[in-house]
Structure 1
Amino acid sequence: WVGADKKYKPTSTSKSTGKTVTVTYGSGSFSGTEYTDQVSLGGNLTLKNQSIGVASKAKGFDGVDGILGIGPVDLTTGIGFFPFLLLAPLSSSPVPTVTDSLYSQGLIPTESIAISFNPTTSPGDDTNGELTFGATDTSKFNGSINYVPITATSPASHYWGVDQTLTYGSNGTPLLQGAAGIVDTGTTLVLIATDAFQAYQQATQAILDQTTGLLTITDDQFAQLESLFFQIGSETYELTPNAQIWPRQSNSSIGGQDGQIYLIVADLGSNSGSGLDFINGFGFLQRYYSVYDTTNSRVGLARTPNTTAETN
């Protein structure tokens, strides 16, 4: 969808469907009208008759025009899951995503999208990632991509959901065991179930900062901070101490204090066992290469030069 910042200008390829669109995210929302239009993604990737939402009202998207939307297509029916989408008149049929349309129109060989991020180090890092539709970019990762099937546990199974065991430190302090959750580029932090979060807070001796809502630690505690280990399938992915902290140059963007150390692991708001016990958001994904493969119903991860980088 578009129109949160710059107003959408209909052209000769634009066609209103006459349907209204309302979408509510975990943070932010928009409402407007559905159009079909030609969408160019660069190179020879030009879609015909792609459904788009055109916002007349948007909240929580300052400086952003809209959202591309790469989640599974069933999320576009908006039945009980975030983002919650309401299309009027009501329809139970999914609305093809950009990735769906690229594949169905023969523009990509497999219905997949691969994403590479560089860690954000300052508020000015607006462009720090790359999308590859229908393939992977071998220059962006090290070694091989390890794939796991979409979890069978609901509601995580409705997203890019995986099963994961999460531990902290060299002693393997357990936080989550065989839990289902999601990998989500649209979530800033790493969110874990409340009981897991409490165990993490105890292990790190962090305190909750009331201004930012994030855990904070002292310099001495940071020197003692250990890695988080995400076991997904047969592989274990490390989130180093440096990767667990908010980029200190960007503290002002969250209302934080200069020089303070904030952690990017936060409380999901519900205890484990709900079927969605974690969200591996941008804080995790900026350290790994990720692949979202609809054709084979799987998620892939690979290490990158940023996995152990000292950027924060």
Structure 2
Amino acid sequence: MQGQPAPEEITAASTAGWRGAGEGPAAAEPLPSNQVSPHRCHRAPGKLHGRECLAGNPSAGTRGHVGGNMDSFGGAVTHAHTLGALCWQLEYVGTISIGTPPQEFSVIFDTGSANLWVPSVYCSSRACANHRRFDPARSSTYRGTTTSVATWYGTGSMVGVLGYDTVTVGNIQVPNQVFGLSLSEPGSFLAQAPFDGFLGLAFPSISSSGATPIFDNMMSQGLVSQDLFSIYLTPNKQNGSFVLFGGIDDTYFTGNLSWIPLTAQSYWQIKVDSITMYGRPIACPYGCQAIVDSGTSLLAGPSRSVGNIQYEMGARRSPSGVYLVSCSYIRLLPDIVFVIAGTQFPLPPQAYILQQEDGSCMSGFEGYALPTASGELWILGDIFLRRYYSVFDRANGMVGLAPAV
């Protein structure tokens, strides 16, 4: 796409002979019936992009890689406010292929959704015209259905139909994978996006139209060695970001992984004990829920709580809706600490204040109004994930976090 910052590349490769990532947590109870046994490990490298602005060692066998470089940082969630061209510097995107022969697409590897979808040749929306489109007639392995599918991403949406074909993530080939072919992508958000579609990594329970997520098929088809995947998001262009399917690479973090139990198996949802600044609670004083989401660029939370944080860091809302901070404050502000399962996960001001190309600085927190049955809900997006190597353990219902290198 012309006129937008180039996305960061996520590619995939496999290498035999990696030892097992056996440092994962022991199962506290029998595995749910929808869990499957571990198999081989793959890493997938790729680009850094996101949906919108609010972006141990691997086991023996092969590894695929969704990693790459990045202009800024990555990701997105389902929120409503976009920040124009800045958004497209804040995301992590990878390349996959669909069909025989393969047709390539750039997608967001998104732990905040569960569907895989790409534009199709049957879509005439401006968003589809601006992107690569899947053509079923060009694939000898495609199988169509009449089942409709729809997904919403705050400021963007997709309506389409489900189909089946071979999907390749790096060198991980997943035959008979269900995916969405968009027929309509209304609005301007997806039209401007420097990626084609989404590859969801959340649980099947939130998949639209009951479509089986690709990671579940990797497991059931014996393509990965453990019922987990891990994500490393690099803050620079020297080291590649990646998603590692089926394993943990302990060369990308320091210390031990802290294991946090899930509070729901839909999104990757956990409990946060508190959020502190200057050593005192600034938000979530009595505990709150949070979703670990590689598809969200910023840190998103309830507007009132985020407003307290913006005030403490001296942020002021600009006419465009961005909260700007004096760049001189970066050396003066304290860490903002997320206390999770009794462990402190600090974010220094260099992480939560974003220096833009025009020399201005922007707060990495975004407020939203989203009532939940469980009370206060936060989205831990790529600002958080850039600081912490993250493991998404389906077998044991946990998220593992450790300081990234």
- Please indicate, yes or no, whether the TM-score normalized by the shorter chain is above 0.5: yes
- Equivalence for 1:254: none
**What is the aligned partner in structure 1 of residue 329 from structure 2?**
221
Deviation at 1:276, TM superposition (A): 4.8
CA apart distance, 1:269: 2.1
Q: Contact 1:195/1:271 (CA < 8 Å) preserved in 2?
A: no
CA contact (8 A) 2:202 2:266 kept: no
Q: Would you say 1:209 and 2:321 are equivalent positions?
A: no
Deviation at 1:120, TM superposition (A): 5.9
1:108-140 residue CA offsets vs partner (Å, 9 max, x unmatched) = 12222211101268xxx9x95201111112222
Contact 1:116 1:130 in 2 (8 A): yes
How far apart, CA to CA, are the structure 2 residues paired with 1:272 and 1:107?
Answer: 36
2:167 maps to which of 32, 35, 39: 39
Q: Deviations over 1:127-160 (max 9, x none)?
A: 95201111112222112221111115xxxx5311
Structure 1 residues 66 and 221, CA, compared in 2 at 3 Å: closer, same or farther? same
Question: Which residue of 2 is the match for residue 266 of structure 1?
Answer: 366
- Residue 117 (str. 1) matches residue 233 (str. 2): yes
Partner deviation per Cα, 1:187-239 (whole Å, 9 max, x = no partner): 1110122231122123222211221x232122343332111101111321111
Q: Does 2:262 match 1:150?
A: yes
User: Which of residues 240, 243, 253 is equivalent to 1:131?
Assistant: 243
SS at match of 1:246: strand
Secondary structure of 2:145's counterpart equals strand
Q: TM (normalized to structure 1)?
A: 0.80
Q: What residue ranges of structure 2 are gaps of 5+ in the alignment?
A: 1-116, 120-127
How many residue pairs get matched? Answer: 272
Give the drift of 1:285.
0.9
Q: What percent of counterpart residues are identical?
A: 28
Q: How far apart are residue 37 of structure 1 and its match?
A: 0.5
Q: Distance in 2 between matches of 1:31 and 1:214?
A: 30
- Paired residue for 2:141? 13
CA RMSD, Structure 1 to Structure 2 (Å):
2.2
3-state SS, counterpart of residue 139 of structure 1: helix
Per-residue CA distance 1:174-196 (angstroms, 9 max, x = gap): 31131112111111110122231
Matching of residues 70-85 of structure 1 within 5 Å:
70-76=201-207, 85=208
Q: Distance in 2 between matches of 1:40 and 1:271?
A: 38
Distance in 2 between the 1:196 and 1:271 partners?
13
Question: How far 1:22 moved relative to its partner?
Answer: 1.6
The aligned runs of 1:217-296 (5 Å cut-off) are: 217-249=325-357, 258-270=358-370, 274-296=374-396
For residue 68 of structure 1, give the secondary structure of its aligned residue in structure 2. Answer: strand
Q: Give the aligned partner of residue 3 of structure 2.
A: none
**Distance across 2 between alignment mates of 1:57 and 1:283:** 31
Query: CA contact under 8 A between 2:330 and 2:353: conserved in structure 1?
Result: no
Find the aligned partners of 1:164 and 1:103 in 2 and give their Cα distance.
29
Task: Give the superposition deviation at 1:272.
Answer: 8.6
SS of aligned partner of 1:108: coil
Mapped to 2, the partners of 1:246 and 1:158 lie a distance apart of 30
User: Contact between 2:300 and 2:367, CA under 8 Å: does it hold in 1?
Assistant: yes
By how many angstroms is 1:18 displaced?
1.6
